[in-house]
Structure 1
Amino acid sequence: MFHLKYIWLFTFNDLKTIVVPETALGIITAISAPAFGIPVSAALSYSSILRRTPVVTFWVWVNLLPMTIDNQRRPSSILEDGLNKPWRPMPSNRLTPRQAKSLMLALYPIAVLTSFVFGGFRPCISLMLLGCWYNGFGGSDVSWISRNFLNACGFVCYAAGATEFLIIWAIVLTTVQTQDMGDQAADALRGRKTLPLVFGDSRSRTITCFPIALWSSGCPWYWQSAVLAYLPCLTPGAIIMLRTLTKRSAEDDNATWKLWNFWLVILYNLPLVKYMSME
């Protein structure tokens, strides 16, 4: 039971940023298949989608788990987590790095087998390669460009049920640095070159606001949404921009990051809104 708790703690912080949003995207995409140009006859029924939802959630989680363990077992990550996430298994001394590595090596085959049986095999392999670059070769530390690029690619792999990959990739690529605003102290300790540490706090916040404004208005325009559909996109986008510029404590930045994930899920819903308007 304790080991199950440790496993849960590895991914707890990613439930709201990866597991829930990407599961929602998979469901939304399946329902709104015609909006992506998929024939209606090929779309899943609502009951089929409901039955597959636990499988979708498990696929996202089981592919996320070994990657997070690989990331958190490294000395620099343990040092960083000791500062801002001391409850994780490594800094709290629940597991040793060696035990974590053994667990990671045992879980990767499970992720591959799950993907082979239920689908998503290619995204699974892509995630493993991205994880190797991100964790093994320091892709998350050497530059904010490579960090954002890898995060964007990772989001697309987890969101492999969607058709509009490039839009998701571009949104995450240009705005995912929102997560780095509240982690500047820990990132500086680790020697990471994130956007706010490279360009400075104030300049990075201004840079981040421009693409958020662009996507908040551009995505509903792309999906030919009704005027009222712009409001749910623009409102949280505006709040994120306002908070990014005015609320600068680590606690406030972490709350803004949670709001960013909510905003991303709203953008995921635009194809569904279009599909419903087609009926």
Structure 2
Amino acid sequence: MSETSQSNAFTIIRPSYKVSETTDKASTIHYANSPQGRARQSNQFVLVRVLQSLLVFLTYHAYSIFLFTCSDFKTIVIPSTVFGVSNSLAASAYGLENSPPVSLELLIDRTLQTFFWVILVFIPFSIDNQRTPSAIEEDTLNKPWRPMPQKRLTPRQARWLMTCFFALVQCHGISGRGLGHRQSTSLFLLGLWYNNFGGADNHPVVRNGINAAGYMCFISGALENALGQRLDFPLQNPIGQTDLKFRLEQWLLLIAGIILTTVHLQDLYDQRGDAVRQRRTMPLVIGDGAARWTIAIPMTVWAFVCPLFWKVRAELFVLSVGLAFTVVGRVLLRRDEKSDRSTFRVWNYWIATIYAMPLFSQVH
């Protein structure tokens, strides 16, 4: 074919392509302006607005849930997770069957499962603790950044949110082979007593006792989820028993004693709010000075009892005693609200150290 023929052929083809392209654009514009096109655009716009609204709603309430729980991450969520994971790795110390050999993948899996259970169970307990009028009044003084003083939710909305999370907890317990189900149910009942029937307000010893029972539920439930099996507690009295099957129960009772006798350290910096709420906490009942000695003396005892119970190595023994005596010194010498808050953080570091002791035990 000659050059002229090739040029003519090309010239003939190009206009047909442009006509086709123009036709497609016109067709698209026509469809967009048609009732069907406008309806489709409207549906897409509505869908985008719904998704945007849903995202705003979820983000808003997720942040509210974070505000409900964040101040207790250092007291409940993180220490309970540490207990569950570290004690599951030391299962042989309790005569329990352990999982396959420990690997990084297994450690991450256990940590995530345990953390999820602890935070899921803690959310409704925390909301219940903050939603009553007296609790809102106290938090307005002590913790004004919490959701209820900020009016991010009404008390009715908070109750609805608490109920939803409690239902989720029950579903998780039923679908998860009952892991942590006994503990979560017990925590619900303890929460009712503590927040709604005067358990936290009428007597400091009762208040500490409920706290101790709550701690036991959190850490034993965390251990069940980390192990992937329900714990069986012998019906016999564990005190004085030497069989390994009693070791876990003895350890839980020992930790309960620690919480019962020292947890009112957190009441030292909450005295203004507790007075407004008319709570009978240890500092308000027996006085600030005497309350500090009721913390310092037991701390001195527990500092030695726990390492000796597990026969830990010298390094951990020194760490435990050092943290405990730091708490004792600060409780007696640093008596302002800011210092008491810092002292309570050190107490939580010590508790986490205590929780991990079975992992470094030389008993087994």
TM-score bracket for this pair, using the shorter chain length? over 0.9
> What does residue 185 of structure 1 align with?
272
- In structure 1, how many angstroms separate the alpha carbons of the residues matched to 2:152 and 2:270? 23
Q: 1-side partners of 2:304 and 2:165: how far apart?
A: 41
Q: Please, which of 229, 233, 253 is the counterpart of residue 320 of structure 2?
A: 233
| 1:124 equivalent in structure 2 | 184
List 4+ stretches of structure 1 deviating above 6 A.
Answer: none
**Whole-angstrom CA distance in 2 between matches of 1:115 and 1:14:** 23
Could you tell me which residue of structure 2 aligns to residue 32 of structure 1? 90
Q: Tell me the equivalent position of 2:331.
A: 244
> Paired residue for 1:113, among 168, 171, 175?
171
Quick check: 1:10–1:68 contact (8 Å CA) kept in 2? yes
What TM-score does the superposition give when structure 1 sets the normalisation length?
0.95
Where does residue 302 of structure 2 map in the other structure? 215
Q: How far apart, in 1, do the equivalents of 2:315 and 2:82 lie?
A: 22
CA–CA distance in structure 1, aligned partners of residues 165 and 80 of structure 2: 20
- The answer for the alignment partner of 2:213 in structure 1 is 153
3-state DSSP class of the match of 1:140? coil
Match of 2:152 in 1: 94
Superposition map of 1:159-178 within 5 A: 159-160=219-220, 161=223, 163=248, 164-178=251-265
Aligned counterpart, 1:48: 106
The 1:183/1:43 distance shift into structure 2, 3 A limit, reads farther
- Is this contact kept in 2: 1:16–1:258, CA < 8 A? yes
Count of residues paired in the alignment: 276
1:104 alignment partner, one of 162, 165, 168: 162
- 1:170 Cα offset (Å): 0.9
- How far apart, CA to CA, are the structure 1 residues paired with 2:90 and 2:166? 32
Any stretches of 5+ residues in structure 1 without a counterpart? none
Residue 71, structure 1, aligned to residue 129, structure 2 = yes
TM-score normalized with structure 2 length? 0.73
Contact 1:59 1:115 in 2 (8 A): no
Whose RCO is larger (CA < 8 A, sep 6+)?
1
Check whether the contact 2:262–2:294 (CA below 8 A) recurs between aligned residues. Answer: no
Higher Cα radius of gyration: 2
Supply the distance in 2 between the matched residues of 1:251 and 1:226 (Cα, whole angstroms).
34
Q: How far is 1:4 from its partner?
A: 0.9
Gaps of 5+ in 2: 1-58, 225-247
Q: Cα offset for 1:44?
A: 6.5
Query: What is the one-letter code of the residue matched to 2:78?
Result: V
